[in-house]
Amino acid sequence: MEFKSLTGIRNVYPEERSVQSSYSNKGNSINYAGKYKENSLNFTIEDLSGVSVVGGTSFNFILEIDGREYTSPQFKSFLEKSLSSGNPYIQKSSVTRVSFTKNELTTAEIFDVREKYSEVQITDNLDTVNELIKHIDWLVSREQTLRDVSDYGKYTLNTTEYNIESDSGIGFEYSDAVESGTPYVASNDIVTTQPEPKNESKKTLTTQQIENLPIVSQTPTNISVPISYDISNPFTVYKPSIDFLQYRDSNLRF
């Protein structure tokens, strides 16, 4: 948001005199005089004494937390100088205001499942108004710098091991709740028991091999011979029996 001084406003009426001379401070108001003395407007100066200054910040708006107003030293000085110069357009009601409650900023139950999914427990967090304001100031700063995790608070790691029988551990039981955004309910967990691998040794697969013999006459002859494969070994190679070879050879003779 760009703030302009009186010389930067578009309406310079009346044009025959300096715009600054059209605005004058009178008590707790600013008077704007038109071309004729009968034409004038009064702007009430809004009290800035209730806006608390938070040192070490530079944000250029008013932050309201639980009904109390806060701003940076630079921005409050800017508001005061604008009013003292007779500019009634830059006041508390015309600048950016952001309102929160402390409870909104410090209550983090919605992150509880994600923390459990990450196997992290937060032991200390931003919980004072001063800490919250300085964190917001960092978020909106144009010259953001990296911050150490210790600036935010403290945490502990709760690393677990995966349990194949219960399909839990290393945060897996919370993955569905994290992905769907729905609350995690322990009673909704479904434990899937993996079946024991079966011993498939000494099992055979029975099929038939069909041979198309050369046409000796007008009617072709098809021969079906039972074949058994041992599928307990995937590398089993089928070898036809001697009876099959003799049977096939005898039928191919002319």
**63 and 119 fall within a common domain:** no
Each residue's pLDDT tens digit, 130-168: 999 999 999 998 877 787 877 777 888 888 887 777 767
Domain assignment present for residue 196? The answer is no
| Residue where the block lists tokens 């983090």 | 108
Chosen domain end from 188, 219, 241 = 188
Q: How many domains does the chain have?
A: 3
Question: Do 113 and 183 reside in the same domain of the chain?
Answer: yes
List % helix, strand, coil for the chain (3-state, nearest 5): 30, 25, 50
Task: Please give the residue range of the domain that contains residue 113.
Answer: 108-188
Residue 197 lies in a domain: no
Residue 179 lies in a domain: yes
- State both tokens at 48: 């800035």
Residues 118 and 165 in one domain: yes
Out of 100, 119, 146, a domain closes at: 100
Same domain, 182 and 213: no
pLDDT tens string, the chain, 254 residues long: the values are 678 888 888 878 888 888 888 999 988 999 999 989 889 999 999 999 999 999 999 999 999 999 999 999 999 999 999 999 999 999 999 999 999 999 888 876 667 777 777 887 777 788 899 999 999 999 998 877 787 877 777 888 888 887 777 767 777 777 777 777 666 666 555 545 556 656 555 555 455 545 555 555 555 555 555 555 455 555 555 555 555 445 444 444 43
Same domain, 149 and 71: no
Q: Do 92 and 140 reside in the same domain of the chain?
A: no
Q: 59 and 136 in one domain?
A: no
Same domain, residue pair 74 and 36: yes
In a domain, 167, yes or no: yes
Q: Answer whether 0.85 is exceeded by the pTM.
A: no
**What are the angstrom distances between the C-alpha of 133 and each of 77, 125, 148?**
18, 14, 17
Q: Are residues 118 and 76 in the same domain?
A: no
Q: From CA 29, how far away is CA 38, in angstroms rounded?
A: 18
Pair 96, 112 in one domain? no
- The verdict on residue 193 lying in a domain is no
Any domain includes 195: no
Contact 252, 232 (CB under 8 A): no
Domain membership of residue 194 (yes or no) is: no
Domain shared by 11 and 95, yes or no: yes
23: which 2 tokens? 């605005």
Q: Does residue 125 sit within a domain?
A: yes
Residue 93 sits in the same domain as residue 17: yes
